[in-house]
Structure 1
Amino acid sequence: MKKILVPCDFSQPARNALLVATEIAAKSKGEIIVLHVIYLPALTDPYYGSTPISYSSGLISQMEADAQAGFERLTQNMPAGIPVKLQIEMGSVLETIKQTIHDQSIDLVVMGTSGSSGLAEMLVGSVTEKVVRHSPVPVLCVPKAVALASLKNILVPTALLLNESDFIKKLKALQNFVGATLHILYVNTPAHFRRDAEIKEALAEFIKNYHLENCKTYIKNHYTEEEGIIDFAEREKMDLVAMATHARKGLSHVFNTSITEDVVNHIAYPVWTYTLKPQA
């Protein structure tokens, strides 16, 4: 976690994300890139149909100046010794984030979430959802600023698949980084019902296959995976939820991005996600 990306619109959720990223960078001796994307939708002349209208250089310069001022306010109380820089780009928010991850060799994306619902969730949460779905590196979504030292219990909902080595490798790195206990949870639903004895056997094989340590296992019956995950996290006072996702839907009982997005939007805890690469 040496290079941390914080997409930033200078809102309170973005401030929360930067606070968390700062603690991570301090512990890892890493650096932070605060990315502000200026998105200018294409405009057309109402009298000449599809003729594009160009934005003035003065407007763009003002937006860049406003971003620089916002960045200075955002970072004025940051601890000394943590490298943090502002990167201003123009274009699509999602594509710019993905390109920055690639160009800057980012290890972790930290994003604030609104924890809202309805229209606000559609507008504010949509960017986070898209990044969760498409990011090639882990994404940490935080609804509020949390102390890194408090992340001692990590909830790991799982479908008990044995082909998630990339996810488990990064999960172990996270566990070691914060010194946490893993709480491995299988949510048994009517749609994917399995006998308890079968699940217990699969949980044991899951732990053995990935050589997991300092972990506990649980089985929870619920109507849906999302509700089961959120209910367990709240009842058991988890500090962080870690989920493997798959960008494609319809695969055999894999936590797809729709479940992960719902958890990110509706849970009051930080959520760390990693998207599995498609199998050849």
Structure 2
Amino acid sequence: MNKILCPVDFSSASLNAIEYALEIAKKFNSRLSFLHVFTEKDFNKALGQEAKGKTFKELLALANSKLKLLVNSIVEETEGQIKCDFHIEMGDLIDKIKEVAYDENYDLVVMGTTGVSRVQGIFFGSNTEDTIDEVRKPILCVPNSANFKHFKKIVYASDFLEEDKMAIQEVISFATMFDARIYVLHINLSDSEKAYDKFVEELKSFIQYNKITFVNKSYKDDVGSGINEYMQQENADLLVAFKRKRNIVESMFSKSITEVLSYSTDKPLLVLKL
């Protein structure tokens, strides 16, 4: 994981995500880049009184100054060990994230989100959902209420997909850097034990990681609440899911990411794209 892109709009959610991006960058010795897609309206909203009465040119200069301060603080905090830079772009947020992520070959996008509405089943900040759907890069979604401690316990939501075998290898690569335990979780609503046992044996045959636990959890209600219950039970630090191309999320038991996230607004979600 050589390069990490972290979109920043100066909201508390995006600033909170920076802490996660930085901790990952430290472990992987990655270059960390901030991306600010400037619009006068959003910048005024984020900064409030600080931006009041300024011209467009002055606001753009202020955004540039704030990003320089962020970069300098990272360089100072890490004593120059983490290379850090920033981009300012104008245009559509999702298009610019996609453009920068692809053109400069970033390995991970780290985004802050304000959470998910249980009633509507959508992100309050729909930019995160759109980014998950449009950008073919792994995306770490960090809720505003999440507090970084450490990635000691990682839950991977599995649905007996062939792609799970590749995705779990990615999870292992990530977990190794944090010496984390992985829980491969399947929420069993009606599946046979025989099918589950066969899948687990296939996975075990090529996995070379000792700190991994397979969990087949029976649950009567919907999958999202089952995953959340298990996350809380284990006090897990990170949920990982796999997103198949051109689908909302056919893994994670044919439930959408937003349905699952609607039950847990204080744990980050890593969405893998293979």
TM-score bucket of the superposed structures, by smaller chain: 0.7 to 0.9
For the Cα contact (< 8 Å) 2:40–2:59, is it kept in 1?
Answer: no
How many Å separate the matches in 2 of 1:121 and 1:12?
22
TM-score using structure 1 length: 0.79
Task: Give the Cα–Cα distance (whole angstroms) in 2 for the partners of residues 30 and 39 of structure 1.
Answer: 28
Q: Is the 8 A contact 1:133 1:257 kept in 2?
A: no
CA distance, structure 2, for counterparts of residue 264 and residue 95 of structure 1? 24
Aligned to 2:106, what secondary structure does the other structure show?
Answer: coil
Please say which of residues 253-262 and 265-274 is displaced more in the overlay.
253-262
Q: CA deviation at 1:196?
A: 2.6
CA contact (8 A) 1:114 1:265 kept: no
Offset of residue 124 of structure 1: 4.4
Larger radius of gyration: 1
Q: 1:25 to 1:66 in 2, by over 3 A?
A: same
TM-score of the aligned structures, taking structure 2 as reference length = 0.81
SS of residue matched to 1:91: coil
8 A Cα contact 1:187 1:219, kept in partner: yes
Aligned residue-pair number: 254
Structure 1 stretches of 5 or more lacking a match?
Answer: 42-57
Task: Give the conservation status (yes or no) of the 8 Å contact 2:138–2:272.
Answer: yes
In 2, are the aligned partners of 1:132 and 1:257 still within 8 Å (CA)? no
Q: Does 1:153 align with 2:147?
A: no
**Conserved 8 A contact 2:224-2:261:** no
- Counterpart of 1:68, as a letter, is N
Cα drift, residue 90 of structure 1: 0.9
Match of residue 218 from structure 1: 215
Task: Report the counterpart of residue 85 of structure 1 in structure 2.
Answer: 85
Q: CA RMSD in A?
A: 2.9
- 2:29 matched to which residue of 1? 29
Structure 1 equivalent of residue 45 of structure 2: none
Report whether the alignment pairs 1:208 with 2:228.
no
- The within-5 A match list for 1:176-195 is 176-189=176-189, 193-195=190-192
Aligned with 1:271 (options 264, 269, 272)? 269
**Structure 2: runs of 5 or more not aligned:** 42-53
Instruction: Measure, in 2, the Cα distance between the counterparts of 1:28 and 1:87.
Output: 21
Aligned-pair CA distance for 1:215: 0.8
**d(CA) in 1 for partners of 2:111, 2:181:** 23
Question: 1:33: Cα distance to partner?
Answer: 0.9
